[in-house]
Structure 1
Amino acid sequence: MANIQSLDPTASPLDYYGWELRRQREAHGLKQGQLGDIIFCTGSLVGQIETTKKVPTRDFSERVDAALGTDGLFSRLIGLVLRSQLPTWFQPYAEMEAKAAYISTYQAQLVYGLLQTEEYARAVLATGKPGQLDSLLAARMERQRILAWEKPPVALVILDEAVLHRPIGGDDVMWRQLAHLLEFTNHRWMRIQVLPLTSGEHPGLAGAFNILRFEDHPDVFYTEDMMSGHMTANPETIKEASLNYAHLQADALSVKDSAALIARVMEERYADRTERDPVA
């Protein structure tokens, strides 16, 4: 087992978190098992987090703050820790996304990450690096916290209709994912539109993309391929991307009609047929 004393607290947010957790625990005269009893987890888990063998969660951090009276220290650290678990190439975008005043996104394959349920996200992430699944999932869920801020970004989301029909995680997972999308129908800062399959050729055929707008920073265009992400503030790129997005919005269903389509697909494809259509 790694020796916590050998950890360099400046090496990474996760190293600092583990180092600080042990320092604070010992300052309160508690053993790992004793702290675990107080915050309703095992002493083994406390030890794994102190030695960076396990990535902490926000819930764990909040319970530690409450138990040790650390004035929100670990609740503040956890955001940095979880962001550091994202792929290195994605971290710059995640930082910009958290600062954006407006987010415009077109998604051709999947539900937008900020709108994914935990089980949908787990199924998506499991196709990549399953050994890092828990930390990647926690990081994705952490990203979604921006939607719950007192002043969240305005988010304009266009989903290709194919997204609704792709059974990620199975029928039950998809039913709950589409139900989650419907929860945003009357959300003040969110607009979800569906681009119907009947649209034929359109500017989004090249793939998903995001446009971020800021109050005090140039707009940013972001797209990614299988291996990495690409972000630019080039004015000509932003201009062309914005025009393409306007075309997609014009071709997409209205928010009301999009919600009706989502509800219809949800019931026709993913509802429990044994409950809907009992055998006579």
Structure 2
Amino acid sequence: MSGQDDLDPDRSLWHFIAVQLRVHRERQGWSETRVGELIDRTRSVVSRYETGKIHLPAKIARLIDDAWGTDLLFTRLVGFANAAHDGDWLVGLADWEQRATRLRLWELVLIPGLFQTEAYARAALAAGLAGDLEERLQRRMNRQKAVFERDDPPHISALINWPCIAHPIGDKDVMRAQLEHLVQLADLPHVSIRLVQPDANAHPGLAGAFEILTVDARDVAYTDDPDEGRLIISPPDVQRYTLRYDRIGELAVPLDPSRVLLTEALEKYT
């Protein structure tokens, strides 16, 4: 890697940190040498941080945040990158979710991962091609525990596309248990589930599933993908997902009728 031209901030969170480090340094009017003096490192080490050759340590990220008044930006980014798999945009989503005060979910083709029974999750994950099944299944179950077994669970608002309900995953028993679980979740005071029926026609949600998380009074978005997801932290980009969620919500069935639809769908598997 010869320099910043070789960095790809759209695919790697560490690359994003390296790019942002240089952007903010230049915005502050600081030289690499001055940054080195702040963090007790040589100019060449600072250059290696900015070209992604070495990763920015959490302790140094905090020093930089304090000096530049960046409101813990680099501290948080480094923390999330360390929690990620190989530092890519597939960040430790569970880390975000277990600290979130609010979750807004849109799911296009499958029951949301946080709502899946173990049997449903196993059947859905078995259809994939990546990774060890048992490891991925355990990771998904751990995500759920981190959210629902908290003393102060987040408020969860889920918009679920009708094909998630209508398309069977696993056998009849698996789907019956999954729909029963959804009905039970819908009765929880901090969970709301609304369905988007087929007559909604074309809408912004058809572009793909995503999740909006409120962490430390700040929204971030996470886009879903069959193999890996991507974290969105830029406020303008996050706002676009928020608007997309609101537009999908305008088409969704209200809470009580959605629960009735879930119950009716459940009857098909009994």
TM-score (norm 2): 0.64
- The Cα of 1:213 is off from its aligned counterpart by 0.8
C-alpha contact (below 8 Å) 1:223/1:231 kept by paired residues: yes
C-alpha contact (below 8 Å) 2:84/2:92 kept by paired residues: no
Aligned to 1:134: 134
Aligned to 1:169: 170
Aligned to 1:190: 191
SS, match of residue 186 in structure 2: coil
Aligned to 1:242: 242
- The Cα of 1:215 is off from its aligned counterpart by 2.6
- The Cα of 1:132 is off from its aligned counterpart by 1.5
C-alpha contact (below 8 Å) 2:91/2:230 kept by paired residues: no
1:87-124, Cα deviation, whole Å (9 max, x unpaired): 97534322112211111010001111111000000001
The structure-2 alpha-carbon separation of the partners of 1:247 and 1:195, relative to structure 1 and needing over 3 Å to count, comes to same
Structure 2 matches for 1:7-46, cutoff 5 A?
Answer: none
C-alpha contact (below 8 Å) 2:162/2:198 kept by paired residues: yes
TM-score (norm 1): 0.62
Residue 258 in structure 1 maps to residue 258 in structure 2: yes
Structure 2 matches for 1:84-123, cutoff 5 A?
Answer: 90-123=90-123
Aligned to 1:178: 179
- The Cα of 1:185 is off from its aligned counterpart by 2.3
C-alpha contact (below 8 Å) 1:85/1:136 kept by paired residues: no
Structure 2 matches for 1:144-159, cutoff 5 A?
Answer: 144-145=144-145, 146-159=147-160
C-alpha contact (below 8 Å) 1:117/1:177 kept by paired residues: yes
1:196-246, Cα deviation, whole Å (9 max, x unpaired): 111111110101011111235x31111133332111111111211111111
C-alpha contact (below 8 Å) 1:106/1:245 kept by paired residues: yes
SS, match of residue 258 in structure 2: helix
SS, match of residue 149 in structure 1: coil
Paired with 1:214 and 1:84, the residues of 2 have a C-alpha distance of: 17
1:55-105, Cα deviation, whole Å (9 max, x unpaired): xxxxxxxxxxxxxxxxxxxxxxxxxxxx99999753432211221111101
Give the AA of the match of 1:228: E
- The Cα of 1:256 is off from its aligned counterpart by 0.8
The structure-2 alpha-carbon separation of the partners of 1:240 and 1:130, relative to structure 1 and needing over 3 Å to count, comes to closer
1:17-63, Cα deviation, whole Å (9 max, x unpaired): xxxxxxxxxxxxxxxxxxxxxxxxxxxxxxxxxxxxxxxxxxxxxxx
C-alpha contact (below 8 Å) 1:161/1:197 kept by paired residues: yes
SS, match of residue 111 in structure 2: coil
Aligned to 1:219: 219
C-alpha contact (below 8 Å) 1:182/1:262 kept by paired residues: yes
Paired with 1:207 and 1:130, the residues of 2 have a C-alpha distance of: 20
Aligned to 1:199: 200
C-alpha contact (below 8 Å) 1:86/1:139 kept by paired residues: no
SS, match of residue 191 in structure 1: strand
Paired with 2:265 and 2:132, the residues of 1 have a C-alpha distance of: 32
- The Cα of 1:137 is off from its aligned counterpart by 1.1
C-alpha contact (below 8 Å) 2:84/2:90 kept by paired residues: no
SS, match of residue 139 in structure 1: helix
C-alpha contact (below 8 Å) 1:160/1:196 kept by paired residues: yes
The structure-2 alpha-carbon separation of the partners of 1:244 and 1:88, relative to structure 1 and needing over 3 Å to count, comes to closer
C-alpha contact (below 8 Å) 2:91/2:231 kept by paired residues: no
Aligned to 2:66: none
Paired residues, what number? Answer: 187
Paired with 1:89 and 1:251, the residues of 2 have a C-alpha distance of: 30
SS, match of residue 183 in structure 1: helix
